[in-house]
Amino acid sequence: MAVEPVNDENYSDFRNSSRTALVVSTSTCQACREYFPVIETLSGQMPYIRFGKTVLDRDRSIQLKREYPDLGSWMLPTTLLFLNQREAGRIFGVSFYPQALAKIQEALVLGTTVYAHNGSGIYVPASIKKIKGLRGPYTAQLLEESGLGQRGMVVALNDGNFKWNLEERV
């Protein structure tokens, strides 16, 4: 998935997605340019998170500045992490790939309800509790009794064994 430019025209739509990461930068920020490839890599590896960037001195960002009046005093780049339309965390400055990955997973993946395939065409809700790698295995606690096990049981899942979005529930 690509990192999309975010400005006043699409900020509300972007912010209303279930999981988003927004990089705030300026066109003269060298550290921002160095950090952007990390975000591009993560966006390609985490298709269930919507990644965007706004360049304050180039993109119209009046809504963002209104929402964050202290924006001018931030260390750049700053990555805002939103889960279900609420700010779930921030990454200040440049983070290298492992640190950025860990912070994004902690803020936007852990505790998330996913729908695990039980092997017979039915998806059952589970909550992500632990992540061992980028694509799993994830440790998830079942929220309902199913063919995977009893409610409360912990199971291992890999990408492809479950769906991320609630609206995808079968």
Q: What residues contact residue 130 under an 8 Å CB cut-off, 6+ apart?
A: 110, 138, 139
| Residue 95 pLDDT exceeds 70 | yes
Q: What is the mean pLDDT of the chain?
A: 87
Residue 121's pLDDT is what?
78
Q: Say whether both 8 and 56 belong to one domain.
A: yes
The residue from 62, 88, 108 where one domain ends is: 108
Q: Is 72 in the same domain as 33?
A: yes
Can you tell me the mean pLDDT for 63-92? Answer: 92
Tens of pLDDT along 124-152?
899 999 887 666 678 888 998 888 889 99
- Pair 51, 129 in one domain: no
Count of structural domains, the chain = 2
Domain that includes residue 74, residue range: 4-108
* pLDDT (mean) for 77-88: 94
pTM: 0.84
Domain end point (choices 108, 132, 153): 108
Tell whether the model's pLDDT for residue 107 goes beyond 90.
yes
**pLDDT of 9 above 70:** yes
Domain boundary among 77, 108, 139: 108
Residue 133, pLDDT score: 67
Q: Are residues 143 and 103 in the same domain?
A: no
